[in-house]
Structure 1
Amino acid sequence: MTTFRHDEAARAVARLAYRTLEPYHLAAYFGPHVDAAREELGVGWLGAYTGMRAAPLGAVPGQVVAATFFGFRPEAVAKAWGLALGRHTPSGLDEVRTRCLDDGLRSALGADVGSPAVTELVGRLRPILDRLDHGGRPLAAAFAAQEWPDTPHLALWHATALWREWRGDGHVAALTSAGLRPLESLVLYDAWLRATSPERASRGRAFLQPTRRWTDEEWAGAEESLGTSGLLTPAREGGAPTLTEAGRRLRDHLEDATDDASAAAWADVDDAEQLLTTARAVVKKVIDAGWLPGTPGRA
Protein backbone atom coordinates (compact mmCIF):
# COMPACT_ATOMS: atom_id res chain seq x y z
CA MET A 1 0.00 0.00 0.00
CA THR A 2 1.24 3.50 -0.82
CA THR A 3 1.88 6.42 1.49
CA PHE A 4 -0.74 9.10 1.05
CA ARG A 5 0.15 12.65 0.12
CA HIS A 6 -2.64 14.20 2.20
CA ASP A 7 -3.65 13.53 5.79
CA GLU A 8 -6.98 12.08 6.88
CA ALA A 9 -8.51 15.52 7.50
CA ALA A 10 -7.79 16.59 3.92
CA ARG A 11 -9.07 13.29 2.54
CA ALA A 12 -12.24 13.74 4.61
CA VAL A 13 -12.91 17.10 2.94
CA ALA A 14 -12.56 15.49 -0.50
CA ARG A 15 -14.95 12.75 0.59
CA LEU A 16 -17.41 15.35 1.89
CA ALA A 17 -17.21 17.25 -1.41
CA TYR A 18 -18.10 14.13 -3.35
CA ARG A 19 -21.04 13.25 -1.13
CA THR A 20 -22.30 16.83 -1.11
CA LEU A 21 -22.06 17.70 -4.81
CA GLU A 22 -22.74 14.36 -6.50
CA PRO A 23 -26.57 14.47 -6.20
CA TYR A 24 -26.72 17.74 -8.16
CA HIS A 25 -24.58 16.20 -10.90
CA LEU A 26 -26.89 13.17 -11.10
CA ALA A 27 -29.71 15.43 -12.29
CA ALA A 28 -28.29 14.76 -15.77
CA TYR A 29 -29.07 11.05 -15.54
CA PHE A 30 -32.22 10.58 -13.44
CA GLY A 31 -35.67 12.13 -13.45
CA PRO A 32 -38.66 12.74 -15.73
CA HIS A 33 -36.72 15.39 -17.65
CA VAL A 34 -34.11 12.72 -18.45
CA ASP A 35 -36.82 10.32 -19.57
CA ALA A 36 -38.06 13.00 -21.98
CA ALA A 37 -34.54 13.61 -23.31
CA ARG A 38 -34.06 9.88 -23.81
CA GLU A 39 -37.23 9.73 -25.88
CA GLU A 40 -36.03 12.68 -27.94
CA LEU A 41 -32.64 11.08 -28.60
CA GLY A 42 -34.24 7.77 -29.58
CA VAL A 43 -31.17 5.63 -28.86
CA GLY A 44 -32.22 3.72 -25.73
CA TRP A 45 -31.11 4.10 -22.12
CA LEU A 46 -27.42 3.37 -22.55
CA GLY A 47 -27.21 5.30 -25.81
CA ALA A 48 -28.68 8.39 -24.14
CA TYR A 49 -26.51 8.06 -21.03
CA THR A 50 -23.36 7.49 -23.07
CA GLY A 51 -24.23 10.21 -25.54
CA MET A 52 -24.91 12.89 -22.97
CA ARG A 53 -21.96 12.00 -20.74
CA ALA A 54 -19.34 11.41 -23.45
CA ALA A 55 -20.37 14.23 -25.81
CA PRO A 56 -17.63 16.59 -24.56
CA LEU A 57 -15.04 14.05 -25.79
CA GLY A 58 -16.12 14.67 -29.38
CA ALA A 59 -16.48 12.01 -32.07
CA VAL A 60 -13.87 9.65 -30.63
CA PRO A 61 -14.00 5.86 -31.17
CA GLY A 62 -16.28 3.92 -28.85
CA GLN A 63 -13.28 2.17 -27.31
CA VAL A 64 -12.07 5.54 -26.01
CA VAL A 65 -15.43 6.23 -24.36
CA ALA A 66 -15.43 2.75 -22.81
CA ALA A 67 -11.94 3.31 -21.43
CA THR A 68 -12.93 6.56 -19.74
CA PHE A 69 -16.15 5.09 -18.33
CA PHE A 70 -14.12 2.05 -17.16
CA GLY A 71 -16.78 0.03 -15.29
CA PHE A 72 -19.04 -0.56 -18.29
CA ARG A 73 -18.85 -3.53 -20.67
CA PRO A 74 -16.71 -2.08 -23.51
CA GLU A 75 -18.71 -3.68 -26.32
CA ALA A 76 -21.96 -2.28 -24.92
CA VAL A 77 -20.55 1.24 -24.58
CA ALA A 78 -19.07 1.17 -28.09
CA LYS A 79 -22.41 0.08 -29.52
CA ALA A 80 -24.35 2.69 -27.53
CA TRP A 81 -21.93 5.46 -28.52
CA GLY A 82 -22.20 4.38 -32.13
CA LEU A 83 -25.99 4.62 -31.95
CA ALA A 84 -25.79 8.08 -30.39
CA LEU A 85 -23.34 9.35 -33.02
CA GLY A 86 -25.39 7.73 -35.76
CA ARG A 87 -28.27 10.07 -35.04
CA HIS A 88 -26.67 13.09 -33.36
CA THR A 89 -23.49 15.14 -33.41
CA PRO A 90 -21.54 15.60 -30.16
CA SER A 91 -22.64 19.24 -30.08
CA GLY A 92 -26.23 18.13 -30.58
CA LEU A 93 -25.92 15.72 -27.66
CA ASP A 94 -24.48 18.54 -25.55
CA GLU A 95 -27.44 20.71 -26.48
CA VAL A 96 -29.96 18.04 -25.50
CA ARG A 97 -28.20 17.51 -22.16
CA THR A 98 -28.26 21.24 -21.49
CA ARG A 99 -31.99 21.53 -22.21
CA CYS A 100 -32.64 18.41 -20.16
CA LEU A 101 -30.78 19.87 -17.18
CA ASP A 102 -32.43 23.25 -17.55
CA ASP A 103 -35.87 21.63 -17.31
CA GLY A 104 -34.97 19.33 -14.43
CA LEU A 105 -33.08 21.81 -12.31
CA ARG A 106 -35.70 24.53 -12.75
CA SER A 107 -38.29 22.02 -11.54
CA ALA A 108 -36.20 20.97 -8.54
CA LEU A 109 -35.01 24.41 -7.47
CA GLY A 110 -38.31 26.19 -8.04
CA ALA A 111 -38.23 29.82 -6.97
CA ASP A 112 -34.59 29.44 -5.90
CA VAL A 113 -33.37 28.74 -9.43
CA GLY A 114 -32.07 32.29 -9.82
CA SER A 115 -31.35 32.99 -6.17
CA PRO A 116 -28.22 34.83 -5.00
CA ALA A 117 -27.26 31.65 -3.12
CA VAL A 118 -26.81 29.72 -6.38
CA THR A 119 -24.88 32.55 -8.02
CA GLU A 120 -22.62 32.96 -5.00
CA LEU A 121 -22.00 29.22 -4.85
CA VAL A 122 -20.87 29.18 -8.48
CA GLY A 123 -18.65 32.16 -7.79
CA ARG A 124 -16.94 30.28 -4.97
CA LEU A 125 -16.60 26.96 -6.77
CA ARG A 126 -15.42 28.20 -10.15
CA PRO A 127 -11.92 29.40 -9.15
CA ILE A 128 -11.37 26.15 -7.23
CA LEU A 129 -12.29 24.03 -10.23
CA ASP A 130 -10.67 26.22 -12.88
CA ARG A 131 -7.24 25.65 -11.35
CA LEU A 132 -7.41 21.83 -11.40
CA ASP A 133 -4.66 19.99 -13.25
CA HIS A 134 -6.23 17.66 -15.82
CA GLY A 135 -3.18 15.56 -16.62
CA GLY A 136 -4.29 11.92 -16.79
CA ARG A 137 -7.96 12.90 -16.32
CA PRO A 138 -9.53 12.75 -19.79
CA LEU A 139 -13.24 13.05 -18.97
CA ALA A 140 -12.64 15.96 -16.63
CA ALA A 141 -10.46 17.62 -19.27
CA ALA A 142 -13.23 17.24 -21.84
CA PHE A 143 -15.76 19.00 -19.62
CA ALA A 144 -13.20 21.63 -18.64
CA ALA A 145 -12.72 22.46 -22.33
CA GLN A 146 -16.36 23.51 -22.55
CA GLU A 147 -17.54 27.03 -21.79
CA TRP A 148 -19.08 27.72 -18.41
CA PRO A 149 -22.84 28.34 -18.82
CA ASP A 150 -24.06 31.86 -18.12
CA THR A 151 -27.15 30.68 -16.23
CA PRO A 152 -26.27 30.08 -12.55
CA HIS A 153 -28.16 26.80 -12.05
CA LEU A 154 -26.52 25.34 -15.17
CA ALA A 155 -23.12 26.75 -14.21
CA LEU A 156 -23.51 24.98 -10.87
CA TRP A 157 -24.16 21.72 -12.71
CA HIS A 158 -21.05 22.32 -14.81
CA ALA A 159 -19.08 22.78 -11.57
CA THR A 160 -20.38 19.50 -10.17
CA ALA A 161 -19.61 17.72 -13.46
CA LEU A 162 -16.03 19.02 -13.44
CA TRP A 163 -15.57 17.85 -9.88
CA ARG A 164 -17.31 14.52 -10.35
CA GLU A 165 -15.38 13.56 -13.48
CA TRP A 166 -12.07 14.83 -12.08
CA ARG A 167 -12.55 12.70 -8.99
CA GLY A 168 -13.80 9.79 -11.12
CA ASP A 169 -10.73 9.87 -13.35
CA GLY A 170 -8.61 9.68 -10.21
CA HIS A 171 -10.66 6.73 -8.97
CA VAL A 172 -10.04 4.89 -12.24
CA ALA A 173 -6.32 5.53 -11.82
CA ALA A 174 -6.46 4.00 -8.33
CA LEU A 175 -8.30 0.94 -9.64
CA THR A 176 -5.90 0.35 -12.50
CA SER A 177 -2.90 0.92 -10.23
CA ALA A 178 -4.26 -1.89 -8.04
CA GLY A 179 -4.35 -4.16 -11.08
CA LEU A 180 -8.15 -4.41 -11.21
CA ARG A 181 -9.98 -4.80 -14.49
CA PRO A 182 -13.30 -2.96 -14.97
CA LEU A 183 -15.61 -5.83 -14.02
CA GLU A 184 -13.35 -6.97 -11.19
CA SER A 185 -13.64 -3.49 -9.68
CA LEU A 186 -17.44 -3.77 -9.70
CA VAL A 187 -17.46 -7.28 -8.23
CA LEU A 188 -15.10 -6.21 -5.45
CA TYR A 189 -17.24 -3.13 -4.77
CA ASP A 190 -20.38 -5.28 -4.58
CA ALA A 191 -18.78 -7.57 -1.99
CA TRP A 192 -17.47 -4.56 -0.05
CA LEU A 193 -20.92 -2.97 0.04
CA ARG A 194 -22.50 -6.16 1.32
CA ALA A 195 -19.86 -6.42 4.03
CA THR A 196 -19.75 -2.79 5.16
CA SER A 197 -23.13 -1.25 4.24
CA PRO A 198 -25.74 -4.00 3.81
CA GLU A 199 -28.48 -1.38 3.74
CA ARG A 200 -26.94 -0.12 0.48
CA ALA A 201 -26.46 -3.55 -1.09
CA SER A 202 -29.08 -2.77 -3.74
CA ARG A 203 -26.55 -0.31 -5.20
CA GLY A 204 -24.18 -3.22 -5.83
CA ARG A 205 -24.66 -6.05 -8.30
CA ALA A 206 -28.44 -5.59 -8.62
CA PHE A 207 -27.86 -2.08 -10.00
CA LEU A 208 -24.40 -2.32 -11.52
CA GLN A 209 -24.59 -5.48 -13.60
CA PRO A 210 -27.65 -4.56 -15.70
CA THR A 211 -26.73 -0.89 -16.14
CA ARG A 212 -23.13 -1.71 -17.03
CA ARG A 213 -24.34 -4.54 -19.29
CA TRP A 214 -22.18 -7.41 -17.97
CA THR A 215 -23.42 -10.98 -18.45
CA ASP A 216 -23.85 -13.54 -15.65
CA GLU A 217 -20.99 -15.55 -17.12
CA GLU A 218 -18.70 -12.54 -17.14
CA TRP A 219 -19.66 -11.65 -13.58
CA ALA A 220 -18.96 -15.21 -12.42
CA GLY A 221 -15.60 -15.11 -14.21
CA ALA A 222 -14.59 -11.95 -12.35
CA GLU A 223 -15.66 -13.54 -9.05
CA GLU A 224 -13.45 -16.53 -9.82
CA SER A 225 -10.52 -14.28 -10.73
CA LEU A 226 -10.80 -12.32 -7.47
CA GLY A 227 -11.09 -15.59 -5.57
CA THR A 228 -7.87 -16.84 -7.15
CA SER A 229 -6.22 -13.56 -6.14
CA GLY A 230 -7.28 -14.10 -2.52
CA LEU A 231 -9.64 -11.11 -2.45
CA LEU A 232 -12.93 -13.07 -2.27
CA THR A 233 -13.98 -16.32 -0.64
CA PRO A 234 -16.01 -18.78 -2.74
CA ALA A 235 -19.78 -18.41 -2.67
CA ARG A 236 -21.77 -20.82 -0.56
CA GLU A 237 -24.73 -22.52 -2.18
CA GLY A 238 -27.33 -19.91 -3.09
CA GLY A 239 -25.13 -17.09 -1.83
CA ALA A 240 -22.49 -14.72 -3.10
CA PRO A 241 -18.72 -14.54 -2.54
CA THR A 242 -17.57 -12.56 0.47
CA LEU A 243 -14.56 -10.35 1.09
CA THR A 244 -11.42 -11.81 2.53
CA GLU A 245 -9.38 -9.68 4.90
CA ALA A 246 -7.08 -8.88 1.99
CA GLY A 247 -10.07 -7.85 -0.12
CA ARG A 248 -11.36 -5.60 2.64
CA ARG A 249 -7.97 -3.93 3.04
CA LEU A 250 -7.65 -3.36 -0.69
CA ARG A 251 -11.13 -1.87 -1.09
CA ASP A 252 -10.70 0.39 1.92
CA HIS A 253 -7.36 1.49 0.49
CA LEU A 254 -8.96 2.29 -2.86
CA GLU A 255 -11.42 4.63 -1.16
CA ASP A 256 -8.60 6.38 0.67
CA ALA A 257 -6.48 6.55 -2.49
CA THR A 258 -9.36 8.14 -4.41
CA ASP A 259 -9.89 10.71 -1.67
CA ASP A 260 -6.16 11.40 -1.55
CA ALA A 261 -6.02 11.98 -5.30
CA SER A 262 -8.99 14.34 -4.96
CA ALA A 263 -7.83 16.23 -1.87
CA ALA A 264 -5.54 18.52 -3.85
CA ALA A 265 -8.60 20.37 -5.14
CA TRP A 266 -9.49 21.54 -1.63
CA ALA A 267 -6.08 21.69 0.05
CA ASP A 268 -5.78 25.49 -0.12
CA VAL A 269 -9.46 26.26 0.49
CA ASP A 270 -9.52 27.37 4.12
CA ASP A 271 -13.31 27.40 4.40
CA ALA A 272 -13.97 24.29 2.31
CA GLU A 273 -16.24 22.65 4.87
CA GLN A 274 -18.28 25.85 5.29
CA LEU A 275 -18.55 26.17 1.50
CA LEU A 276 -19.80 22.59 1.19
CA THR A 277 -22.30 23.15 3.99
CA THR A 278 -23.67 26.09 2.00
CA ALA A 279 -23.82 23.92 -1.12
CA ARG A 280 -25.75 21.22 0.72
CA ALA A 281 -28.79 23.47 1.11
CA VAL A 282 -29.03 23.92 -2.68
CA VAL A 283 -28.26 20.30 -3.53
CA LYS A 284 -30.88 19.09 -1.05
CA LYS A 285 -33.58 20.43 -3.34
CA VAL A 286 -32.50 17.97 -6.04
CA ILE A 287 -32.50 15.17 -3.48
CA ASP A 288 -35.95 16.19 -2.25
CA ALA A 289 -37.29 16.02 -5.82
CA GLY A 290 -37.21 12.23 -5.37
CA TRP A 291 -35.60 11.37 -8.71
CA LEU A 292 -32.36 9.84 -7.49
CA PRO A 293 -31.89 6.18 -6.58
CA GLY A 294 -32.40 5.63 -2.89
CA THR A 295 -34.54 8.74 -2.37
CA PRO A 296 -38.24 8.66 -1.43
CA GLY A 297 -40.30 7.83 -4.49
CA ARG A 298 -37.39 6.13 -6.24
CA ALA A 299 -36.26 2.52 -5.93
Structure 2
Amino acid sequence: HQMDPPDHTRLRRMLIPDFTFRRIEQMEDALQRICDDLLDAMTLGGATEADLVESYALPLPTLAICELLGVPYEDHDFFRAKSNALTSVAGDPAEAMNARMALYGYLRALIERRAQEPADDLISRLATERVATGEATLDEATGMVCLLLLAGHETTANMFPLAVIALLHHPAQLDALRVDESRWPVAVEELLRHLTVIHSGIRRVATEDMELSGVRIRAGEGVVVALQSANRDPSAYSDPDALDVRRDAAGHLAFGHGLHQCLGQSLARAELRLGLPTLFRRLPMLHLTTPPETLALSTSSVHGVRSLPVAWR
Protein backbone atom coordinates (compact mmCIF):
# COMPACT_ATOMS: atom_id res chain seq x y z
CA HIS A 1 0.00 0.00 0.00
CA GLN A 2 3.09 2.25 0.09
CA MET A 3 3.84 1.42 -3.54
CA ASP A 4 2.72 2.65 -6.96
CA PRO A 5 2.63 1.10 -10.46
CA PRO A 6 4.35 -0.68 -12.09
CA ASP A 7 5.55 -2.68 -9.03
CA HIS A 8 2.19 -2.29 -7.23
CA THR A 9 0.33 -3.57 -10.32
CA ARG A 10 2.68 -6.54 -10.75
CA LEU A 11 2.44 -7.68 -7.12
CA ARG A 12 -1.28 -7.01 -6.66
CA ARG A 13 -2.06 -9.05 -9.80
CA MET A 14 -0.45 -12.09 -8.15
CA LEU A 15 -2.92 -11.94 -5.25
CA ILE A 16 -6.17 -11.11 -7.05
CA PRO A 17 -7.15 -14.76 -7.85
CA ASP A 18 -7.25 -15.58 -4.12
CA PHE A 19 -9.47 -12.61 -3.26
CA THR A 20 -12.12 -12.73 -6.00
CA PHE A 21 -15.76 -12.78 -4.95
CA ARG A 22 -16.01 -16.37 -6.23
CA ARG A 23 -13.00 -17.56 -4.20
CA ILE A 24 -14.40 -15.97 -1.03
CA GLU A 25 -17.82 -17.48 -1.81
CA GLN A 26 -16.14 -20.91 -1.80
CA MET A 27 -14.89 -20.11 1.73
CA GLU A 28 -18.35 -19.34 3.10
CA ASP A 29 -18.94 -22.82 4.56
CA ALA A 30 -15.57 -22.61 6.34
CA LEU A 31 -16.41 -19.09 7.58
CA GLN A 32 -19.79 -20.24 8.90
CA ARG A 33 -18.12 -23.16 10.68
CA ILE A 34 -15.63 -20.73 12.27
CA CYS A 35 -18.51 -18.54 13.53
CA ASP A 36 -20.39 -21.52 14.97
CA ASP A 37 -17.29 -23.04 16.61
CA LEU A 38 -16.40 -19.72 18.27
CA LEU A 39 -19.92 -19.31 19.64
CA ASP A 40 -19.92 -22.94 20.82
CA ALA A 41 -16.73 -22.21 22.76
CA MET A 42 -18.08 -18.90 24.08
CA THR A 43 -21.23 -20.50 25.51
CA LEU A 44 -19.54 -23.72 26.70
CA GLY A 45 -20.68 -25.01 30.08
CA GLY A 46 -23.59 -22.59 30.27
CA ALA A 47 -21.38 -19.46 30.28
CA THR A 48 -23.45 -16.28 30.17
CA GLU A 49 -20.86 -13.54 29.59
CA ALA A 50 -17.65 -12.91 27.68
CA ASP A 51 -15.39 -10.31 26.13
CA LEU A 52 -16.72 -10.24 22.56
CA VAL A 53 -13.41 -8.94 21.14
CA GLU A 54 -11.32 -11.75 22.61
CA SER A 55 -13.91 -14.51 22.11
CA TYR A 56 -15.36 -13.69 18.69
CA ALA A 57 -14.45 -10.43 16.92
CA LEU A 58 -10.70 -11.11 16.90
CA PRO A 59 -10.46 -14.89 16.34
CA LEU A 60 -13.04 -14.82 13.49
CA PRO A 61 -10.97 -12.78 11.00
CA THR A 62 -7.73 -14.28 12.33
CA LEU A 63 -8.96 -17.82 11.64
CA ALA A 64 -10.34 -16.72 8.27
CA ILE A 65 -7.13 -15.09 7.03
CA CYS A 66 -5.04 -18.00 8.38
CA GLU A 67 -7.30 -20.38 6.42
CA LEU A 68 -6.96 -18.36 3.21
CA LEU A 69 -3.19 -17.82 3.50
CA GLY A 70 -2.35 -21.26 4.84
CA VAL A 71 -0.86 -20.05 8.14
CA PRO A 72 -1.11 -22.60 10.97
CA TYR A 73 -3.69 -21.26 13.41
CA GLU A 74 -1.78 -22.60 16.40
CA ASP A 75 0.59 -19.65 15.83
CA HIS A 76 -2.19 -17.04 16.13
CA ASP A 77 -1.11 -15.85 19.60
CA PHE A 78 2.32 -15.06 18.15
CA PHE A 79 0.70 -13.14 15.27
CA ARG A 80 -1.61 -11.21 17.55
CA ALA A 81 1.24 -10.08 19.81
CA LYS A 82 3.44 -9.09 16.86
CA SER A 83 0.67 -7.30 14.94
CA ASN A 84 -0.33 -5.39 18.10
CA ALA A 85 3.23 -4.13 18.49
CA LEU A 86 3.39 -3.28 14.79
CA THR A 87 0.14 -1.32 14.46
CA SER A 88 0.01 0.46 17.83
CA VAL A 89 0.19 4.24 17.53
CA ALA A 90 1.26 4.46 21.18
CA GLY A 91 3.94 1.79 21.12
CA ASP A 92 7.72 1.74 21.26
CA PRO A 93 9.33 2.07 17.77
CA ALA A 94 12.08 -0.41 18.70
CA GLU A 95 9.45 -2.96 19.80
CA ALA A 96 7.59 -2.43 16.51
CA MET A 97 10.78 -3.06 14.51
CA ASN A 98 11.52 -6.24 16.51
CA ALA A 99 7.94 -7.44 15.89
CA ARG A 100 8.28 -6.81 12.15
CA MET A 101 11.55 -8.76 12.00
CA ALA A 102 10.05 -11.70 13.95
CA LEU A 103 6.98 -11.81 11.71
CA TYR A 104 9.05 -11.56 8.53
CA GLY A 105 11.38 -14.32 9.70
CA TYR A 106 8.51 -16.68 10.48
CA LEU A 107 6.65 -16.02 7.20
CA ARG A 108 9.82 -16.25 5.09
CA ALA A 109 10.52 -19.69 6.56
CA LEU A 110 6.89 -20.76 5.97
CA ILE A 111 7.04 -19.70 2.28
CA GLU A 112 10.29 -21.65 1.83
CA ARG A 113 8.72 -24.70 3.49
CA ARG A 114 5.64 -24.54 1.25
CA ALA A 115 7.87 -24.36 -1.84
CA GLN A 116 8.99 -27.90 -0.91
CA GLU A 117 5.63 -29.12 0.46
CA PRO A 118 2.82 -27.12 -1.21
CA ALA A 119 -0.79 -27.20 -0.01
CA ASP A 120 -3.99 -25.64 -1.43
CA ASP A 121 -3.49 -22.12 -0.09
CA LEU A 122 -2.24 -18.67 -1.04
CA ILE A 123 1.24 -19.06 0.47
CA SER A 124 1.83 -22.29 -1.46
CA ARG A 125 0.69 -20.67 -4.72
CA LEU A 126 2.98 -17.69 -4.15
CA ALA A 127 5.89 -20.03 -3.35
CA THR A 128 5.45 -22.39 -6.32
CA GLU A 129 3.96 -20.12 -9.02
CA ARG A 130 5.59 -16.76 -8.31
CA VAL A 131 8.79 -17.11 -6.25
CA ALA A 132 10.00 -20.37 -7.84
CA THR A 133 9.48 -18.89 -11.34
CA GLY A 134 11.28 -15.65 -10.52
CA GLU A 135 8.15 -13.52 -10.91
CA ALA A 136 8.50 -12.33 -7.31
CA THR A 137 11.42 -12.36 -4.91
CA LEU A 138 11.18 -14.14 -1.58
CA ASP A 139 11.29 -10.74 0.15
CA GLU A 140 8.41 -9.43 -1.98
CA ALA A 141 6.30 -12.52 -1.25
CA THR A 142 7.06 -12.26 2.48
CA GLY A 143 6.10 -8.58 2.50
CA MET A 144 2.79 -9.29 0.72
CA VAL A 145 1.83 -12.12 3.09
CA CYS A 146 2.76 -10.02 6.13
CA LEU A 147 0.58 -7.13 4.92
CA LEU A 148 -2.36 -9.46 4.18
CA LEU A 149 -2.09 -11.12 7.59
CA LEU A 150 -2.10 -7.80 9.45
CA ALA A 151 -4.71 -6.05 7.31
CA GLY A 152 -6.80 -9.22 7.21
CA HIS A 153 -7.53 -9.34 10.91
CA GLU A 154 -6.85 -5.92 12.40
CA THR A 155 -9.61 -4.18 10.43
CA THR A 156 -12.51 -6.63 10.82
CA ALA A 157 -11.58 -7.31 14.46
CA ASN A 158 -12.11 -3.60 15.16
CA MET A 159 -15.12 -3.14 12.87
CA PHE A 160 -17.06 -6.02 14.42
CA PRO A 161 -17.50 -4.78 18.03
CA LEU A 162 -18.33 -1.27 16.79
CA ALA A 163 -21.04 -2.75 14.56
CA VAL A 164 -22.46 -4.69 17.54
CA ILE A 165 -22.53 -1.52 19.68
CA ALA A 166 -24.23 0.44 16.86
CA LEU A 167 -26.90 -2.22 16.31
CA LEU A 168 -27.65 -2.65 20.02
CA HIS A 169 -28.00 1.14 20.18
CA HIS A 170 -30.64 0.93 17.41
CA PRO A 171 -32.84 -1.99 18.60
CA ALA A 172 -35.66 -1.38 16.08
CA GLN A 173 -33.20 -1.67 13.19
CA LEU A 174 -31.66 -4.80 14.72
CA ASP A 175 -35.09 -6.36 15.20
CA ALA A 176 -35.89 -5.78 11.51
CA LEU A 177 -32.67 -7.62 10.59
CA ARG A 178 -33.52 -10.51 12.91
CA VAL A 179 -36.93 -10.85 11.24
CA ASP A 180 -35.53 -10.72 7.70
CA GLU A 181 -31.90 -11.89 7.46
CA SER A 182 -31.86 -11.21 3.69
CA ARG A 183 -31.36 -7.54 4.66
CA TRP A 184 -27.93 -8.14 6.18
CA PRO A 185 -25.81 -7.45 3.04
CA VAL A 186 -27.35 -3.95 2.70
CA ALA A 187 -26.98 -3.38 6.46
CA VAL A 188 -23.30 -4.35 6.35
CA GLU A 189 -22.60 -1.67 3.70
CA GLU A 190 -24.33 0.96 5.84
CA LEU A 191 -22.37 -0.13 8.92
CA LEU A 192 -19.12 0.11 6.93
CA ARG A 193 -20.07 3.62 5.79
CA HIS A 194 -21.31 4.77 9.18
CA LEU A 195 -18.35 3.47 11.20
CA THR A 196 -15.37 3.76 8.76
CA VAL A 197 -12.70 2.20 11.00
CA ILE A 198 -9.78 3.50 8.90
CA HIS A 199 -9.76 6.92 10.52
CA SER A 200 -6.10 7.92 10.56
CA GLY A 201 -6.19 9.52 7.10
CA ILE A 202 -4.87 8.09 3.84
CA ARG A 203 -1.65 9.76 2.67
CA ARG A 204 -1.36 10.63 -1.01
CA VAL A 205 0.79 12.92 -3.18
CA ALA A 206 -0.72 15.10 -5.95
CA THR A 207 0.73 14.15 -9.34
CA GLU A 208 -0.47 17.36 -11.01
CA ASP A 209 -1.68 20.84 -10.10
CA MET A 210 -5.39 20.88 -9.26
CA GLU A 211 -8.07 22.74 -7.40
CA LEU A 212 -10.36 21.04 -4.88
CA SER A 213 -13.20 22.90 -3.14
CA GLY A 214 -11.50 26.20 -3.86
CA VAL A 215 -8.12 25.06 -2.52
CA ARG A 216 -5.12 25.03 -4.84
CA ILE A 217 -3.05 21.82 -4.58
CA ARG A 218 0.26 21.76 -6.43
CA ALA A 219 1.99 18.73 -7.95
CA GLY A 220 4.22 17.06 -5.37
CA GLU A 221 2.27 18.30 -2.35
CA GLY A 222 1.07 15.81 0.23
CA VAL A 223 -2.64 15.28 0.79
CA VAL A 224 -4.36 13.46 3.66
CA VAL A 225 -7.66 11.90 2.59
CA ALA A 226 -10.20 11.53 5.43
CA LEU A 227 -12.39 8.57 4.46
CA GLN A 228 -14.61 8.98 7.51
CA SER A 229 -15.43 12.55 6.47
CA ALA A 230 -16.20 11.51 2.88
CA ASN A 231 -18.54 8.79 4.16
CA ARG A 232 -20.50 11.41 6.13
CA ASP A 233 -20.72 13.85 3.18
CA PRO A 234 -24.27 15.36 3.13
CA SER A 235 -24.06 15.82 -0.65
CA ALA A 236 -23.64 12.02 -0.99
CA TYR A 237 -25.93 10.77 1.80
CA SER A 238 -29.02 12.33 3.33
CA ASP A 239 -28.83 12.64 7.14
CA PRO A 240 -25.28 11.20 6.94
CA ASP A 241 -24.65 11.01 10.69
CA ALA A 242 -27.60 8.67 11.21
CA LEU A 243 -27.37 4.89 10.98
CA ASP A 244 -30.06 3.54 8.66
CA VAL A 245 -29.56 -0.14 7.78
CA ARG A 246 -32.11 0.15 4.96
CA ARG A 247 -30.05 2.86 3.25
CA ASP A 248 -28.35 2.12 -0.07
CA ALA A 249 -24.79 2.99 0.99
CA ALA A 250 -23.25 1.71 -2.27
CA GLY A 251 -20.27 3.80 -3.32
CA HIS A 252 -19.02 4.37 0.25
CA LEU A 253 -15.26 4.70 0.68
CA ALA A 254 -14.67 2.48 3.73
CA PHE A 255 -12.41 0.28 1.54
CA GLY A 256 -10.71 3.22 -0.15
CA HIS A 257 -10.89 3.92 -3.87
CA GLY A 258 -8.92 3.45 -7.08
CA LEU A 259 -5.59 1.64 -7.43
CA HIS A 260 -5.21 0.97 -3.71
CA GLN A 261 -8.79 -0.06 -2.96
CA CYS A 262 -8.77 -2.82 -0.33
CA LEU A 263 -7.91 -6.15 -1.93
CA GLY A 264 -9.63 -8.11 0.87
CA GLN A 265 -12.98 -6.33 0.78
CA SER A 266 -14.90 -9.45 -0.33
CA LEU A 267 -13.48 -11.38 2.63
CA ALA A 268 -14.27 -8.55 5.09
CA ARG A 269 -17.84 -8.32 3.80
CA ALA A 270 -18.31 -12.10 4.08
CA GLU A 271 -17.00 -12.12 7.68
CA LEU A 272 -19.47 -9.38 8.68
CA ARG A 273 -22.34 -10.75 6.59
CA LEU A 274 -22.04 -14.18 8.26
CA GLY A 275 -20.57 -13.26 11.64
CA LEU A 276 -23.12 -10.63 12.70
CA PRO A 277 -26.38 -12.52 11.96
CA THR A 278 -24.93 -15.73 13.45
CA LEU A 279 -24.10 -13.88 16.67
CA PHE A 280 -27.53 -12.26 17.03
CA ARG A 281 -29.35 -15.45 16.02
CA ARG A 282 -27.47 -17.62 18.52
CA LEU A 283 -27.61 -15.07 21.35
CA PRO A 284 -30.96 -13.26 21.04
CA MET A 285 -30.61 -11.70 24.52
CA LEU A 286 -27.13 -10.27 23.82
CA HIS A 287 -26.45 -6.97 25.60
CA LEU A 288 -23.52 -4.85 26.74
CA THR A 289 -22.53 -5.02 30.39
CA THR A 290 -20.50 -1.78 30.29
CA PRO A 291 -21.61 1.64 28.95
CA PRO A 292 -19.97 2.11 25.51
CA GLU A 293 -18.52 5.51 26.47
CA THR A 294 -16.41 3.87 29.21
CA LEU A 295 -14.73 1.35 26.87
CA ALA A 296 -10.99 1.74 26.21
CA LEU A 297 -10.31 2.71 22.60
CA SER A 298 -7.81 0.77 20.50
CA THR A 299 -4.30 2.24 20.30
CA SER A 300 -4.07 0.93 16.75
CA SER A 301 -4.29 3.18 13.71
CA VAL A 302 -7.57 1.31 13.03
CA HIS A 303 -10.47 2.67 15.10
CA GLY A 304 -12.01 0.22 17.57
CA VAL A 305 -12.35 -0.84 21.20
CA ARG A 306 -9.90 -3.04 23.09
CA SER A 307 -12.62 -5.12 24.73
CA LEU A 308 -16.41 -5.43 24.65
CA PRO A 309 -17.93 -7.10 27.75
CA VAL A 310 -21.28 -8.69 26.86
CA ALA A 311 -23.82 -11.03 28.45
CA TRP A 312 -26.75 -12.99 26.97
CA ARG A 313 -29.01 -13.80 29.93
Query: Does TM, normalized by the shorter one, top 0.5?
Result: no
Bigger Rg, which one: 2
The structure carrying a bigger strand percent of its residues is 2
Scaled by the length of structure 2, what TM-score is found?
Answer: 0.31
Greater fraction helix: 1
Work out which structure has the larger RCO, using CA pairs closer than 8 Å and 6 or more positions apart in sequence: 1
